[in-house]
């Protein structure tokens, strides 16, 4: 948790930053290069259908995967991790292991 409460004017930026930190963390968001799999934590898998539908509607795409649908919500090294995993199978991660809140804020 941050040392200070989130301020309303910066909440969207803070959420995006935390989400990118989550996707960029190899322990909490696992991209297994050897097996060519993205192991999606349950907290994110739950929103997978709506994220994919939103992506397809916005970009006029069909057959998008969660990996592709997450790209517009990222930048920097988190985006590079996802781009490198395009084409990998998406599979569920074990429940409870990869929570958004398991690591302290950097």
The Cα–Cα gap between 61 and 80 comes to 21
Q: pLDDT per residue over 45-81, tens digit each?
A: 899 999 999 999 999 999 999 999 999 999 899 999 9
Q: Is residue 82 part of a domain?
A: yes
What residues pair up with 22 in beta bridges, in sequence order?
A: none
Residue 14 lies in a domain: no
In a domain, 5, yes or no: no
Q: How far apart are CA 95 and CA 92, in angstroms?
A: 8
Domain count, the chain: 1
Strand partners, 37: 32, 89
Determine, yes or no, domain membership for 9: no
Say if residues 30 and 39 touch (Cβ distance below 8 Å).
Answer: yes
C-alpha to C-alpha distance for 90 and 67, rounded to whole angstroms: 8
Whether 98 is covered by a domain: the verdict is: yes
Please give the average per-residue pLDDT across 94-100, as a whole number: 58
pLDDT (0 to 100) of residue 2: 62
Quick check: is 24 in a domain?
no
Whole-model pTM above 0.85?
A: no
| 91 inside domain | yes
Q: Specify if 88 maps to a domain.
A: yes
């Amino acid at each position: 948790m941050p040392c200070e409460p989130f301020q309303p004017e910066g909440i969207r930026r803070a959420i995006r930053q935390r989400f990118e930190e989550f996707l960029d963390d190899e322990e909490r968001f696992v991209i297994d290069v050897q097996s060519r799999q993205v192991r999606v934590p349950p907290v994110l898998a739950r929103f997978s259908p709506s994220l994919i539908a939103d992506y397809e509607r916005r970009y006029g795409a069909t057959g998008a995967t969660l990996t592709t649908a997450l790209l517009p919500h990222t930048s920097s090294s988190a985006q590079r991790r996802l781009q490198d995993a395009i084409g990998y199978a998406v599979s569920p991660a074990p429940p409870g292991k990869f929570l958004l809140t398991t690591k302290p804020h950097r």
